[in-house]
């Protein structure tokens, strides 16, 4: 059903229809409702219009209209963001890049691929695997999330421990600014001259412009990969194993910890072969040449034994390895076996403080009468406490948000940071002042203004309202910290 529009919306829609086909400009209820939210608990806000961009030129045309009419623009990939980054401000044009999903070029000689922003992470990876390469950043949402979203959130994943998060794999980005100006940031050279504006754009969460083309570095497939599953009586021993492995000078491709609560849910869901009597399990993957991999496996087994591992297993073949990873990668789906809703948190703490912060997280759960399970990229200290709940329970959402805030405070108190990979969005913007000084925030705002002087690109995100451009505050109808 078509929504009856206000005069302002009709004006925006009419202008967009001068440059786009009618099937690219959506104002029906269903389209607006889908674009009103992402995967976070931030309260949905329907935009004025949803535009389905099919090309770079479409985005240029929309960004020109946005500036002419003074209307905010919110880029959107797959909407899997967990911080409210793609939740629109009222009256905004949502620019969906889902139809811009072509891999334009794969250059094996130079180890790069040029893609449109709507390419799904796993689609790129699958296409590359047969060529002897892969795309390293592998968020757990990789079956649906897009490269544009990965770049905007500087996303990570289990295999980012050894190779780095998205920014380490992006060579160049073509960006359309509000007003339609096009800038090419970075370049094919590993060390392009000039200021690293490519680096400034990555992690900008859509507040600096819209990426319409991304050149990524592709990684050669390793000759040998070995995956170990280590089980422990308690989380502390698993966390200490992680610190000891890194302290021994070994940087595995991945190190993922799961506690008993999530292991039991996974086993019920997919039967990955994890021991359900263990207090925590640690999935470790090492890769490289056979000699190095074998030496690292022996060393890791030795460390695991010293840390009191109750069982140590190496996957015997590719099928077993795939099953171990299937368990980890379906962990969030498995949570449905515990309760219908969850709030997936994301902070980083110094690796040596993992065990103590996890104890604190457990106390936070008890204090707020909430179940918290843990599944996280332990190698880089990235915590993902998962608060599991049923939103029909009266008062539970307040307790969930309080517990989330306590987890952030505990992580910061331990010397950690606000987010490892999910970004700031709306969810954490009011915590920015706890992490950065006023001067820091003012400088971030100046950088933002240099890309977007009108403050129309995804306004009301990342920077706290006290440090955003004045025009952004006026335009945003999503006050910080507005939750479901």
Ligand X SMILES: Cc1cc2nc3c(=O)[nH]c(=O)nc-3n(C[C@H](O)[C@H](O)[C@H](O)COP(=O)(O)OP(=O)(O)OC[C@H]3O[C@@H](n4cnc5c(N)ncnc54)[C@H](O)[C@@H]3O)c2cc1C
Q: Give the residues lining the site for ligand X (CB under 6 A).
A: 38-39, 74-82, 85-86, 97, 117, 139-141, 145-146, 148-150, 152-153, 155-157, 205-206, 210-211, 332, 421-422, 458
For ligand X, the closer CB: 157 or 464:
157
The least distance separating ligand X from the CB of residue 207, rounded to whole angstroms, comes to 8
For ligand X, the closer CB: 303 or 459:
459
Instruction: Find the residue with minimal CB distance to ligand X.
Output: 149
For ligand X, the closer CB: 177 or 403:
177
The least distance separating ligand X from the CB of residue 40, rounded to whole angstroms, comes to 9
For ligand X, the closer CB: 73 or 293:
73
The least distance separating ligand X from the CB of residue 383, rounded to whole angstroms, comes to 12
The least distance separating ligand X from the CB of residue 148, rounded to whole angstroms, comes to 3
Is the distance from CB of 79 to CB of 425 less than 8 angstroms? no
For ligand X, the closer CB: 198 or 422:
422
Is the distance from CB of 421 to CB of 159 less than 8 angstroms? no
The least distance separating ligand X from the CB of residue 138, rounded to whole angstroms, comes to 8
The least distance separating ligand X from the CB of residue 462, rounded to whole angstroms, comes to 8
The least distance separating ligand X from the CB of residue 10, rounded to whole angstroms, comes to 25
Is the distance from CB of 444 to CB of 463 less than 8 angstroms? yes
For ligand X, the closer CB: 284 or 309:
284
For ligand X, the closer CB: 39 or 303:
39
For ligand X, the closer CB: 228 or 386:
386
Report the 3 state secondary structure along the chain: CECCCCHHHHHHHHHHHCCCCHHHEECEHHHHHHHCCCCCCECCCCCCEEEECCCHHHHHHHHHHHHHHCCCEEEECCCCCCCCCCCCCCCCEEEECCCCCCEEEEECCCCEEEECCCCEHHHHHHHHHCCCEECCCCCCCCCCCEHHHHHHHCCCCCCHHHHCCHHHHEEEEEEECCCCCEEEEECCCCCCCCCCHHHHHCCCCCCCCEEEEEEEECEECCCEEEEEEEEECCHHHHHHHHHHHHHCCCCCCEEEEEEHHHHHHHHHHCCCCCCCCCCEEEEEEEEECHHHHHHHHHHHHHHHHHCCCCEEEECCCHHHHHHHHHHHHCHHHHHHHCCCEEEECCEECCHHHHHHHHHHHHHHHHHCCCEEEEEEEHHHCEECEEEEECCCCCCHHHHHHHHHHHHHHHHHHCCCECCCCCCCCCCCHHHHHHHCCHHHHHHHHHHHHHHCCCCCECCCCCCCHHHCCHHHHHHCCCCCCCEC
The least distance separating ligand X from the CB of residue 62, rounded to whole angstroms, comes to 12
DSSP code at position 44: P
The least distance separating ligand X from the CB of residue 201, rounded to whole angstroms, comes to 8
For ligand X, the closer CB: 40 or 236:
40
The least distance separating ligand X from the CB of residue 358, rounded to whole angstroms, comes to 18
For ligand X, the closer CB: 46 or 148:
148
């Amino acid at each position: 059903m078509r929504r009856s529009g206000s005069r302002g919306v009709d004006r925006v829609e009419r202008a967009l229809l001068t440059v786009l086909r009618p099937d690219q400009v959506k104002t029906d209820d269903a389209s607006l409702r889908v674009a009103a939210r992402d995967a976070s608990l931030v309260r949905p806000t329907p935009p004025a219009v949803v535009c389905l961009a099919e090309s770079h030129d479409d985005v240029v045309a929309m960004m020109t209209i946005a500036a002419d009419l003074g209307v905010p623009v919110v880029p959107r990939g797959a909407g899997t963001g967990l911080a409210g980054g793609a939740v629109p401000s009222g009256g905004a044009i949502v620019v969906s890049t889902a139809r811009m999903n072509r891999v334009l070029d794969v250059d094996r000689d130079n180890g790069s691929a040029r893609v449109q922003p709507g390419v799904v992470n796993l689609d790129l990876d699958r296409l590359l695997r047969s060529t002897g390469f892969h795309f390293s950043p592998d968020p757990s949402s990789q079956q649906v999330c897009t490269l544009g979203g990965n770049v905007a959130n500087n996303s990570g994943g289990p295999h980012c421990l050894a190779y780095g998060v998205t920014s380490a794999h992006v060579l160049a980005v073509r960006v359309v600014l509000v007003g339609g100006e096009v800038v090419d940031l970075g370049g094919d050279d590993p060390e392009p001259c000039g200021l690293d504006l490519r680096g400034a754009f990555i992690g900008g969460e859509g507040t600096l412009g819209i990426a319409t083309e991304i050149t990524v570095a592709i990684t050669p497939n390793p000759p040998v990969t070995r995956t170990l599953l280590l089980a422990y009586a308690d989380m502390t021993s698993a966390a200490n194993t992680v610190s000891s492995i890194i302290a021994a000078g070994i940087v595995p491709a991945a190190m993922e910890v799961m506690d008993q609560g999530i292991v039991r849910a996974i086993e019920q869901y997919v039967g990955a072969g994890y021991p359900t009597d263990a207090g925590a399990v640690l999935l470790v993957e090492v890769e490289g040449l056979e000699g190095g991999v074998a030496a690292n496996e022996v060393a890791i087994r030795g460390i695991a034994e010293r840390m009191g591992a109750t069982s140590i297993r190496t996957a015997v073949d590719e099928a077993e390895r795939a099953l171990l990873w299937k368990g980890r990668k379906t962990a969030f789906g498995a949570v449905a076996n515990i309760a219908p809703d969850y709030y997936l948190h994301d902070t980083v703490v110094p690796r040596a403080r993992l065990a103590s912060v996890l104890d604190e997280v457990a106390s936070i759960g008890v204090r707020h009468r909430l179940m918290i399970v843990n599944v996280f990229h332990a190698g880089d200290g990235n915590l993902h406490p998962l608060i599991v709940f049923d939103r029909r329970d009266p008062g539970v959402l307040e307790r969930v948000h309080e517990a989330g805030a306590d987890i952030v405070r505990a992580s910061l108190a331990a010397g950690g940071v606000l987010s490892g990979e999910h970004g700031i969005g709306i969810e954490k913007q009011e915590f920015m002042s706890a992490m950065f000084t006023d001067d820091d925030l003012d400088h971030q705002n100046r950088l933002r203004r240099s890309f977007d002087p009108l403050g129309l690109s995804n306004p009301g995100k990342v920077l706290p309202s006290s440090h955003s451009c004045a025009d952004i505050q006026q335009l945003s109808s999503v006050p910080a910290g507005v939750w479901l």
